[in-house]
Chain A
Amino acid sequence: AQSVTQLDSQVPVFEEAPVELRCNYSSSVSVYLFWYVQYPNQGLQLLLKYLSGSTLVKGINGFEAEFNKSQTSFHLRKPSVHISDTAEYFCAVTPYNQGGKLIFGQGTELSVKP
């Protein structure tokens, strides 16, 4: 079985400050890794995904994430956040052998203050 743990339920940060949202996963098989973002009253949209190759993945809106296999982590970072980044962020995994079955973490609410 797989599980995803997002270590912070809420992260408040000031505008233009850097931010890191932490994600750890547990799986007995190899997985693909994803970060999705949910803006208020909207569905989720993909920020970035790690499938293979370089462990540093760049996504939309200036976000990036680094896959660390030994630590089973996939932390999301942005060097300078904007008010518009205020949203809920979800880390998710899909096992190699289970089609598109996404397993989500509980989410991290990022609140960017002026």
Chain B
Amino acid sequence: DAGVIQSPRHEVTEMGQEVTLRCKPISGHNSLFWYRQTMMRGLELLIYFNNNVPIDDSGMPEDRFSAKMPNASFSTLKIQPSEPRDSAVYFCASSPWGAGTDTQYFGPGTRLTVL
């Protein structure tokens, strides 16, 4: 299996621009998670989906952030408009069932820099 795939691996953009991060989970996994990692706040869960349905988006920082999962093999995290404080590494992870006992499998991350 190829594992969780994220694109792009690096993104540099200017403040005010729209940014779209993409994720392909492991085939057959029913749950998908988006995390953000910064030096100040560590690893934070932004949102997670079960069977393509958003279950908990309480970690999404504000309305500028949105996430979709149109099918079982693809998800996007969009920031519009982007701000310098959004600079971080964004990870996508998937798990078989979304159960608390599951192992989550992480992608390599997208390093976002907003100038």
Are B102 and A100 within 8 A (Cβ)? yes
A44 to B105, CA, bound (A): 7
Min distance, Cβ B3 to any Cβ of chain A, angstroms: 8
Are A43 and B91 within 8 A (Cβ)? yes
Q: Do A90 and B109 form a contact, CB below 8 Å, given A99-B48, A100-B102, A100-B104?
A: no
Q: Do A51 and B101 form a contact, CB below 8 Å, given A44-B91, A101-B56, A102-B45?
A: yes
Q: Which of chain B's residues have a CB closer than 8 A to the CB of A54? A: none
Q: Which of chain A's residues have a CB closer than 8 A to the CB of B33? A: 100, 102
Min distance, Cβ A111 to any Cβ of chain B, angstroms: 17
* Contact pick for A43, options B31, B55, B99, B106, CB 8 Å: B106
Q: Which of chain A's residues have a CB closer than 8 A to the CB of B102? A: 100
Are A100 and B106 within 8 A (Cβ)? no
User: Interface size bucket, A side?
Assistant: 20 to 34
Min distance, Cβ B76 to any Cβ of chain A, angstroms: 18
Q: Do A43 and B95 form a contact, CB below 8 Å, given A99-B48, A100-B100?
A: no
Q: Which of chain B's residues have a CB closer than 8 A to the CB of A107? A: 42-43
* Contact pick for A42, options B45, B101, B103, B108, CB 8 Å: B108
Which residues of B approach A to under 8 Å, CB–CB?
4, 31, 33, 42-45, 48, 50, 55-56, 91, 93, 95, 98-109
**Considering the complex of A and B, which 10 residue pairs feature the smallest CB-CB distances, nearest first?**
A43-B106, A104-B43, A94-B100, A44-B106, A100-B98, A106-B42, A46-B103, A99-B98, A43-B108, A32-B100
A-B CB contact pairs (8 Å), 11 listed: A42-B108, A43-B109, A44-B106, A94-B100, A98-B56, A99-B98, A100-B33, A101-B100, A102-B45, A104-B44, A105-B42
